[in-house]
Amino acid sequence: MNKLILIAVISAAMASARAQNAASTPATSPEMNELREQVKALTETVKGLQQQLKDQQTTIDKLNQQNATTAESPEPSPIAAASPSPSVAASAPPATKFPTEDASVVSSTTSVPTSSPAAGVNPNGTAVGGNFPTTDTSVVSSAPTETISTTGAGASLTQPIGIGGGKNYMNISFDGLFALAYSSDKHLDQIEVGDHDPMQRGFNARNIELALDGAVDPYFEGFANIVFKLDNDNNTDVEVEEAFMQTTSLPFNLQLKGGQFFAAFGRINPQHPHVWEFVDDPIVHGRLLGPDGLRGVGAQISWIVPVPWYSQLILGVQNGRGSTGYSFRNPGDDGLFFDRRTTDRELRGLEDFVWIPRWENSVDITPTQVVLAGVSGAFGSNETGGTARTQIYGADVFYKWKSANAEGGFPFVKWQSEFMYRRFEAGRGINESFPVAETFHDWGLYSQVLWGFKKGWVAGIRGDYYDAQDSRFTDDIDRQSRSRISANLTWYPTEFSKIRLQYNHDFLDETFFLAGRDVDSVFLQFEFILGAHGAHKF
Amino acid sequence: MKRYLLILFTILGTTLVAHAKLNVVATLPDFGSLAREIGGDKIDIVVLAKPTEDPHFVDARPSFVVSLRNADVLIDGGAELELGWLPPLLQNARNPKIEVGKPGRVQASQGIRLMNVPTNVTRAAGDVHALGNPHFTVDPIIAKAIAQHIAQSFATLDSANAAFYNDNYKKFEASINQKLQYWGAMMQPFQGQHVVAYHDSWPYFAHRFGINIDVFLEPKPGIPPSPSHLTEVIGQMKSLNIKAIIVEPYHDRRIAEKVARSTNAKVVEFSQFPGGIPGTDSYVSLIDKLVSRLAEALK
């Protein structure tokens, strides 16, 4: 009802303002008379409407009486006092004066205390609407029902944003990532190292993702990523890739996280494949942290160090069990890992968890250049022996330049490199069944440069290197040293879709068991995102 | 003994807080300049986005987390313009003082009736903001409302200086009211004229001064201009006798110039943000510049 009145008042006011505008320019007297008549008529209408409004207001005030003490500040501020008193169209300022108030765009500011959490339409806000004459119909016609924007609908933690004007409790998005692949090796699944990489010649759909996020309550946020993966025989696997809660306002710059989540190790590991700049996983990541990356059920605490630059310490702990804890308590395929029959035992103590510390720092070198660098570790037990341990260390650096006149985030240059080293104690397996115990020292790195040269267009180049210690006791293909060079070109029609063409050249080294060879592969990746997808971190 | 220490620390703490400047973070330079008008030398301000870059696509760089972590006040648009970068920053900043609903959070869209609210939200229409067009600060009447909310927030959090903030608001209001007469007179001769813009950032400015900025080089918001669309625009410009094309610092000026050459229109460099074009260090000087540039082009 209030809205109707508002619209009526405004249209009346606008019509009268039109009259005034016309009056300001020299006009013939019949026109003037006609306009005067109009103004008179409109003034009458406005008066009538005002009476209605007053009645309405009385009702609203009554309803609001109980909230009045909290909703209004006890002392009216000088600002509030300085607010203009509502003036009716009839007593509008002289026609030559340019208006300095416009109730059609600004609701009563004085009656909306900034501290008010009110998410509804403030009745006072609409009550004074229409006191200022304006000639513009676009505001009314374009916003016929929901007229006043209120607080809390924006990007916030406690009031989640989402499609449909912030009326949803969470962001819901759906992401489909597909690839058409060709490789000179017919076993592409033995060339690509990541579980969401293309695994066969032809079409691949290995990362179709449902992502949910939002505020749980004033204390927590929740996230979930459910991945549907079509295997080479088109059967659907479902993975709960991530599902975790996170605190929003712990004191002392602390944050806690719990659930199933990607370990904060390095840069590529916590990222979802759809954010990756290449079609496939860097080799060292897939080999040392596993095809699925290091993720699992656990908890994490992080602390922003109170220094002038960005510095964060993170400590995570996860079960590290199964294939998503690849180098840790992983029973392996068919109970074998590096040819050892695995123990697959239960947790004995804190040492069997994977402990994942990280320290990351970032500075702005210039207003257009940012560097983010970190060191990470992952320490735990593995299943190849009763006391076998694994330690992984990582160092990563990310640099980005973005033009001060960037449109849509372009142009930019990004450079990202990661180094990882793994010390893996391969024991003698369950019941000392394997002939020898070995300690493997494996390491690798990748480095990539992305150049966003034009809005929507990115060219990239990446080099990969992986050095696995040669062993005469295991013929595992994961222990084949190799290197790779990749180049790609991506077109983002918008931030919700992309098309990417990539070429890979792989060099696989000869080992005691495996022959050396070269492999060429080409991928055409395409992606779409539906719904409200949460924004990504830097 | 413990109790006395506690009291001592509380007193120390409150005095320190009382005398420290307010740490203010503004997501965008327009909010930053309004905060400066109100806060003067009583606040320390950090503005996240640069005045020359596209406000839809600002990097969520980690140094912003540090600024937000230390903030007493955060001023943001509240209308999803910063949707692509502010939420992850706030997730990491873990600062309860700037949560929505607290006096430390000023959402500029509060009490503003947003224009062009889509009745049907579909991305087939391009980068459409579900809450309405978020580029509203360029309307001086709206800027007054934002400044008032900023003053209320500052006065609540720093009550010792409340009178100072309120006086500054009154001064700002008075200068806008006075300037509006001048700006209105400058734009008066061009009432009803059509103007082309690269992106739909100007409905509030157009509404205020009675012009129509309703033809766009972008076929849809956020979608780069295509040759066929530009041909259509050139046709419209000729039939409506459009004399000016508005570009912002981050838009591809060459496209606008190409269109201008085939229509005898002028390319006018505009910015929503103080500092985005030379000689616009304050809000008033920005609107001054916009009005005089546009009047010059439309003459």
| Most confident region among A72-76, B9-13, B49-53 by mean pLDDT | B49-53
> By percentage, how much of chain B surpasses pLDDT 70?
94
A477 vs A111, residue with greater confidence: A477
Least confident piece of the model among A413-427, B15-29, B112-126: B15-29
For chain A, the average pLDDT equals 80
Q: How far is B180 from chain A (nearest CA, A)?
A: 6
Q: A57: which residues sit within 8 A by CB, 6+ positions away?
A: A123, A127
Rg (CA), chain B: 21
- Cα A38 to Cα A23, A45, A52, A132: the distances in Å are 12, 11, 21, 17
Q: Is residue A406 part of a domain?
A: yes
Give strand ranges (E) for A340-496.
340-341, 354-366, 369-381, 389-407, 410-426, 438-454, 457-467, 482-494
Please tell me which of the candidates A79, A99, A304 has its beta carbon nearest to residue B152.
A79
Residues 170-189 of B with CB under 8 A from A: 170, 173, 176-177, 180-181, 183-185
Cα(A252)–Cα(A229) distance, integer angstroms:
41
Question: Which of 103-162 (B) contact A at CB < 8 A?
Answer: 103, 105-107, 109-117, 121, 123, 126-127, 130-132, 136, 139, 141-142, 144-145, 148-149, 151-153, 155-156, 162
* C-alpha span between B187 and A279 (Å, rounded): 54
pLDDT of amino acid A56 = 63
Residue pLDDT, tens place only, B230-245: 999 999 999 999 999 9
Which residue of chain B is at minimal alpha-carbon distance from A309? Answer: B63
The residues spanned by each domain of chain B are 2-179, 189-298
Statement to judge: residues A495 and A384 lie in one domain: yes
Query: Residue B22 has which token pair?
Result: 């307010």
Task: Using the predicted structure, report yes or no on whether residue A126 has a pLDDT greater than 90.
Answer: no
Statement: residue A293 has pLDDT above 70: yes
Report residue B86: phi and psi, to 5°: -75, -40
Tokens 């009538």, residue? A48
Q: Is B12 a residue whose pLDDT tops 60?
A: no
Q: Are residues A134 and A190 in the same domain?
A: no
Residues A273 and A393 in one domain: yes
Confidence of residue B116 (pLDDT cuts 50, 70, 90): confident
Specify the number of domains making up chain A: 2
- Indicate which of B57, B58, B92, B113 best probes the interface with A, i.e. most A CBs within 10 Å of its own CB: B113
Q: Is the ipTM of this complex over 0.90?
A: no
pLDDT at position A156, please?
Answer: 31
Query: So what's the pLDDT on residue A2?
Result: 52
pLDDT of residue A79: 43
Q: Is the pLDDT of residue A72 over 60?
A: no
Of the residues A122, A142, A162, the one at which a domain ends: A142
Residue A57 three-state SS? helix
Nearest to B177 among A100, A360, A456 (CB): A100
- In tens, the pLDDT along A13-38 reads 554 444 444 444 444 555 666 667 77
Say if A160 falls within a structural domain: no
Lowest mean pLDDT among A133-147, A339-353, B200-214, B270-284: A133-147
Residues of A in contact with B127 (CB under 8 A): 494
pLDDT in tens, A229-272: 999 999 999 999 999 999 988 999 999 999 999 999 999 999 99
Strand B43-47's sheet: what is its strand order?
B43-47, B22-26, B73-76, B105-107
pLDDT confidence of A55, banded at 50, 70, 90?
Answer: low
Q: Mind spelling out the 3-state secondary structure of chain B?
A: CHHHHHHHHHHHHHHHHHHCCEEEEECCHHHHHHHHHHHHHHEEEEECCCCCCCCCCCCCCHHHHHHHHCCCEEEECCCCCCCCCHHHHHHHHCCHHHCCCCCCEEECCCCECCCCCCCCCCHHHCCCCCCCCCCCCCCHHHHHHHHHHHHHHHHHHCHHHHHHHHHHHHHHHHHHHHHHHHHHHHHHHHCCCEEEECCCCCHHHHHHHCCEEEEECCCCCCCCCCHHHHHHHHHHHHHHCCCEEEECCCCCHHHHHHHHHCCCCEEEECCCCCCCCCCCCCHHHHHHHHHHHHHHHHC
Q: Give the residue numbers spanning the domain of A194.
A: 173-531
pLDDT digits (tens, 9 = 90+) for A162-188: 333 445 688 899 999 999 999 999 999
Tell me if B210 and A148 make a contact (CB, 8 A cut-off): no
pLDDT at A512 over 90: no
The reply to whether A121 and A254 lie within a common domain is no
Is A431 buried (19+), middle (13-18) or exposed (0-12) by CB count in 10 A?
Answer: exposed
How many residues comprise chain A? Answer: 538
Q: How far is CA A87 from CA A49, A101, B199, in A?
A: 14, 11, 36
- Decide if B166 and A310 are in contact by the 8 Å CB cutoff: no
User: Which residues make beta-bridge pairs with A439?
Assistant: A425
Among B200, B198, B195, B196, smallest CA distance to B81 is for B200
Task: Say if residue A466's pLDDT is above 50.
Answer: yes
pLDDT at B19 over 80: no
Contact B111 A125 (CB under 8 A): yes
pLDDT at A529 over 80: yes
Most confident of A82-96, B38-52, B114-128: B38-52
The CATH number assigned to the domain holding A486 equals: 2.40.160.10
Please tell me whether residues A129 and A189 are part of one structural domain.
no
Q: What pLDDT sits at residue B119?
A: 80
pLDDT of residue B121: 76
Q: Give the H or E element holding residue A10.
A: helix A2-24
Please state whether the predicted TM-score (pTM) of the whole model is above 0.90.
no
Average pLDDT score over residue span B81-100: 92
- pLDDT, tens digit, for every residue of A340-371? 999 988 999 999 999 999 999 999 999 999 99
- Residue B274 pLDDT greater than 80, yes or no: yes
> What's the fold here for domain B2-179?
Rossmann fold (3.40.50)
- Partner-chain contact B52 A404, CB within 8 Å: yes
**pLDDT of res. B5:** 56
Contact B126, B218 (CB under 8 A): yes
pLDDT of the residue at A534:
81
What confidence score (pLDDT) does residue A63 get?
A: 54
Kindly report the CATH class assigned to B189-298.
Answer: alpha beta
Q: Is residue A278 part of a domain?
A: yes
Q: Is B266 on the interface with A (CB under 8 A)?
A: no
Give the residue from B67, B83, B110 with the most A CB atoms within 10 Å of its CB, the best one to mutate.
Answer: B110
Residue the block writes with tokens 């540090």? B66
- Contact check, Cβ <8 Å, B60/A246: no
- Most confident among A35-44, A284-293, A336-345 (mean pLDDT): A284-293
